[in-house]
Amino acid sequence: MDNSTQANENCRRGTTRLVRGDRAGALADFDRALAVDPVYPEAYNNRGVARHGLGDLAGALADFDRALELAPRYTEAYSNRGTARHARGDDAGSVADFDQALEIDPRHAEAYNNRGAARHALGDPRTAIADFDLALELHSRYAEAYSNRGAARQALGDLAGSVADFDLASEAAPREQIDVAVTRGVMPQVQHGRDRTPWWGRQEL
């Protein structure tokens, strides 16, 4: 088996483990993939997702940085780095990464949602609402985007609009069911309880 095939197999196995919630096992597989192919951007991105899930934000950011060095138009790596920057309190850097992701892929609903959440965290709920609107144009049953728009509307004093959005979020996916979600990838969501602070989308593989 050549190095490329071996790296691909390790990366695929790691991705499966990550989707199943085995972050430590996934991390070991991505380490093995990178040991035989140290210029494999997808393995760096996916290892970054595993490290973020394990609480190693510095390691996650280093992996997303390396993925982007190798593949400068890697949308998911920008989006994942934006999420990790938010987790470290760097919302300005987070917005910059989502800007980059959306420049590459302007139909990336989760990047709009996450950029809106970062903008709200920076004290700009009005601009955040524009991002949530764009996310919902692309994904009409995006519960997190409805919830986030509701929080932004609440911050602006639009209580009727806020309640309507929270109702739509519940219809799209009951709040108690919104947890670690799987689409193209996996992200441990930043959940803030019942205070209607922004919800974040998913990290992507």
Q: pLDDT tens-digit profile of 118-151?
A: 999 999 999 999 999 999 999 999 999 999 999 9
Tokens 């609903």 sit at which residue? 109
Please state the rounded mean pLDDT for residues 68-87.
96
Angle at 55 between CA 78 and CA 188, to 5 degrees: 65
Give start-end residues of each CATH 1.25.40.10 domain in the chain. 1-72, 90-205
Mean pLDDT calculated for residue range 38-65: 97
**Comparison of pLDDT for 193 and 129, the residue scoring more:** 129
pLDDT of res. 43 = 96
Q: What is the second-level CATH architecture of the domain 1-72? A: Alpha Horseshoe (1.25)
| Alpha carbon distance 132, 60 (integer Å) | 26
Q: What is the mean pLDDT of residues 154-171?
A: 96
Asked whether the CA dihedral 10, 13, 18, 21 is positive or negative, the reply is negative
Residue 78 has pLDDT above 70, yes or no: yes
- CATH architecture group of domain 90-205: Alpha Horseshoe (1.25)
- Confidence class for position 41, pLDDT limits 50, 70, 90: very high
Specify the pLDDT at position 203: 60
Mean pLDDT of the chain: 87
Q: Taking the CA atoms of the chain, what radius of gyration do you get in angstroms?
A: 17
Higher per-residue confidence, 197 vs 18: 18
